[in-house]
Amino acid sequence: ENPAQFHLVCQPGNGGPVEDWVNVKTIYEAAGSTTPLCIVNGALDKVRDGYYPGLIFPKLATTFDFYRSFEAIFFLKPISDKGVYGWLFRVYPEPWQVVLQTPKRNGNDITIEDKVVLVSPTRPSYKDCVQAMLSRVDT
């Protein structure tokens, strides 16, 4: 039997049963924790950041630290709050960036201006992203 050399998991637990996240950890540990694991569209923020309370989901709670250890190699998440719109973005190994998007009207044409408003070596919080965008509106 040839062991797997790479595990690719697509969209665990996002729209499906929370057991998907538990199964991913089980697969990783069964491979001896040496086989690279890549998760695509995993909605890991839900499982890492308290969306599922451990008291109600005790089996899932055993995976929280496992998912917190993941390194984001490509991340793109929309941020829309308090009248501003943009993205939290990262391509490994580069730093995290918050990009403010501002519509610009020229007659009947509308274009979108992208402006990097925050660069950080660590992932900024949602609140920090919104604050960075608000501080740079119309500057």
Predicted confidence (pLDDT) per residue in 58-68, tens digit: 999 999 999 98
Q: What tokens were used for 71? A: 């390194």
Rounded to two decimals, the pTM is 0.79
pLDDT at position 109, please?
93
Better-predicted residue by pLDDT, 33 or 66: 66
Between 5-14, 109-118, 124-133, the lowest mean confidence (pLDDT) is in 5-14
Strands (E) in the chain, as ranges, are: 7-10, 37-40, 74-81, 84-91, 96-106, 109-120
Instruction: Tell me if residue 4 falls in helix, strand or coil.
Output: coil
Q: Closest Cα to residue 46, out of 67, 71, 19?
A: 67
Q: What is the sign of the dihedral through the CA atoms of 135, 78, 28 and 66?
A: positive
Q: Under a CB-based contact definition with an 8 Å cutoff, are residues 91 and 109 in contact?
A: no
**Model pLDDT for residues 66-118, shown as the tens digit of each residue:** 998 888 899 999 999 999 999 999 999 999 999 999 999 888 999 999 999 99
Contact 80, 62 (CB under 8 A): no
The Cα–Cα gap between 92 and 106 comes to: 36
Contacts with 97 (C-beta within 8 Å, 6 or more apart), sequence order: 88, 89, 90, 116, 118, 119, 120
- Which amino acid is residue 5, in one-letter code? Q
pLDDT given at position 47: 87
25 pLDDT tier (thresholds 50, 70, 90): very high
Q: Sorting pLDDT into bands at 50, 70 and 90, what band is 17?
A: confident
Residue pair 54/60 in contact by the 8 Å Cβ criterion: yes
